[in-house]
Chain A
Amino acid sequence: MAKGTYEVITPPNKLKDLVGGVTQINDDLLAKAEAAAQVVIDTVDLSETTKPQIAALQQAVDAILQGAERAEHEKVIFAIMHDLRGEGANFGYPLVARIAASMNHYLDSAAPGERARNDPDVIRAHVDALRGVLANKLKGETGAIGAQIVGGLESISGLKG
């Protein structure tokens, strides 16, 4: 392709061909989907289903505290926290979502090669808080104490000034 040119392609709309006609938001169908989604949301108990993730987080934190090479363990923590951020937001644990977002903001603030400068105590504080929220099934908005703890972590991580 010549420099300075670009190719524009209009692919066949297979989805439209399959579905046929005009597809638009149908309120009745949306209500049905929302109700079905709520059943799943009410059924999932994150305090149980996240136990393997919490165990893996603790293992990574322990390794870091014992002086292991941090980058790989911090990568594990980042991936799990990313998962928990989404799960917490979706399944009724906003505190879990906020703690996970705070942790990853902190980990993401260092370039990959500089992750070793992260403070292990900050990482441990986030994981401890997460474990406490889930162990005590602190679902939903949990008042001043929960907000204060998470707000403290967000200040430490730099997520909120």
Chain B
Amino acid sequence: MQEARLQRLSVLIVDDNHNMRELVRTILQALGVVNIYEGRESEHAITKIRDFSIDLVVTDWVMEPKDGLDLVKWIRTSPDSPDNFLPIIMVTGHTEKARITEARDAGINEFMAKPISARALYRRLVSVIEHPRQFVRPGSYFGPDRRRKVEPFAGADRRGDDGNKASAA
């Protein structure tokens, strides 16, 4: 049974909106996830990440006082973060390309635009399980490889600090 497959995951939902948390929780439960925690905003989420063994974070972006990007940066770079590689799915009403790039650059694994659907969330869930991306640390960035495919590349490699072709360390 597929439900049984997902029941061992512990998922943290972070959203300041009760209705949205309820919707995501319901979808995850229907998919078989049993251990679900909720955070009302980033600081609250950090306490949950410290207190429980979280395997996956599904977070909103716009929250007060600290937003979803602050949470992503904490997970990826803080020495207090229990897992800098923790998979993160960002759910947001932002659909503008510049915003998507900003979220990607902060270190998210998957981006999901609202409205939330069971199909979209399920797909992201399968993706983070089956197709995890490598992590890279070029210069100041640390997070999942922002390139989804490894393909021959003719232009300047911006992974290198000097813009020249970089070599893997």
Q: A40-B22, A79-B62 are in contact. Are A11 and B85 (CB under 8 A)?
A: yes
Contacting pair B115 A90 (CB below 8 A): yes
Is B8 part of the contact surface with A, judged by Cβ < 8 Å? yes
Interface on chain A toward B: helix, strand, loop, or mixed SS?
Answer: helix
Is A111 part of the contact surface with B, judged by Cβ < 8 Å? no
> Which one of A30-38, A112-120, A150-158 contacts B?
A30-38
Q: A36-B26, A86-B20 are in contact. Are A5 and B136 (CB under 8 A)?
A: no
Provide the bound-state CA to CA distance between A32 and B118, in Å.
Answer: 9
Contacting pair A36 B29 (CB below 8 A): yes
- Nearest chain A CB to B49 CB, angstrom units: 14
Q: A9-B134, A36-B27 are in contact. Are A23 and B162 (CB under 8 A)?
A: no
Q: A20-B5, A79-B62 are in contact. Are A86 and B114 (CB under 8 A)?
A: yes
Contacting pair B135 A83 (CB below 8 A): no
Q: A3-B160, A16-B129, A23-B126 are in contact. Are A9 and B136 (CB under 8 A)?
A: yes
Provide the bound-state CA to CA distance between A28 and B3, in Å.
Answer: 10
Residue count of chain A within 8 Å CB distance of chain B: 49
> When each residue 130-167 of chain B gets 1 if its CB lies under 8 Å from chain A and 0 otherwise, what string results?
10101111110000010000000000000111101111
Contacts of B129 in A (CB 8 A): 13, 15-16, 19, 23
Contacting pair A83 B130 (CB below 8 A): no
Residues of A within 8 A of B (CB): 1-16, 18-26, 28-30, 32-37, 39-41, 44, 46, 49, 79, 82-83, 85-87, 89-91
Given contacts A5-B167, A7-B137, A83-B16, 11 further A-B contacts (CB under 8 A): A3-B162, A4-B164, A4-B165, A16-B132, A32-B30, A49-B19, A82-B94, A83-B93, A85-B93, A90-B20, A90-B114
